[in-house]
Amino acid sequence: MSALEIVAVAVSFLGIWLTARRRMLCWPVNLLACGLYFKLFLDVRLYADMVLQALFGIAIVYGWIAWARGKEESGDIVVRPLPPLQASAGLAAGAVGALAIGWFTSRYTDAALPWMDAGLSSFSLVAQYWTARRQAASWLLWIAVDVLYVGMFVVKELWLTAGLYAAMVGLAVLGYRRWRQAAADGARIS
């Protein structure tokens, strides 16, 4: 456990908590968390997750803009449904990305866990895109991904990060409930 990991965990937890509460402040906080984890993953040779943090940075800027445009007059972020065809396309893209990243990192790098790292990174990008699009179903994918991340971080002996991801499973459950409620409340108002 390093000082970098401790700070990254604290900032990440705050960012996810703000996201679950649908607060715009989540975006700059999550951007800072990406930078911290980029460095940490470089240090422990989880290269797919390192690159994922850079891609998350881009997705965070996109999400920040999308959320700013998706507000109600009250300032609340509008939650949208995830159509089945879009869900299927996202999951297929996640699978293709996992295979491509896994193949590359297993052949051309000294990645510690190339296939697991690749799969989790790829599906995290899908979940991040769905989050940016304000789709409550994003939290279901985050739950699945975060449960598996806990195991990977235990294997890498990143105990604090494993604990963060275990807590993030709980935050994702909270986020899913809150976002579904917001969507239901919005449906009643329309």
Q: Compute CA 124 distance to the chain's CA centroid, rounded to the nearest angstrom.
A: 5
52 pLDDT above the threshold of 50: yes
DSSP string, 43-100: HTT-HHHHHHHHHHHHHHHHHHHHHHHTB-TTSPBPPB---HHHHHHHHHHHHHHHHH
Please give the Cα distance from 46 to 94 (Å, whole number).
18
Please give the Cα distance from 91 to 20 (Å, whole number).
22
Helix (H) or strand (E) holding 112: none
Q: How long, in residues, is the chain?
A: 190
Task: Provide the residue range defining the domain that includes 112.
Answer: 3-189
Give the pLDDT confidence score for residue 72 in this predicted structure.
65
Cβ-count burial of 55 within 10 angstroms (0-12 exposed, 13-18 middle, 19+ buried)? middle
Q: What residue type is assigned to position 99 of the chain?
A: L
85 pLDDT above the threshold of 50: yes
| Helix, strand, or coil (residue 164) | helix
186 pLDDT above the threshold of 80: no
**Which structure tokens are listed for 73?**
């007059």
Contact present, 117 and 111 (Cβ < 8 Å): yes
Please give the Cα distance from 158 to 123 (Å, whole number).
21
33 pLDDT above the threshold of 60: yes
Max Cα-Cα span within the chain: 54
Q: How many domains, the chain? A: 1
Q: pLDDT: is 139 or 156 the higher one?
A: 139
pTM metric for this prediction: 0.82
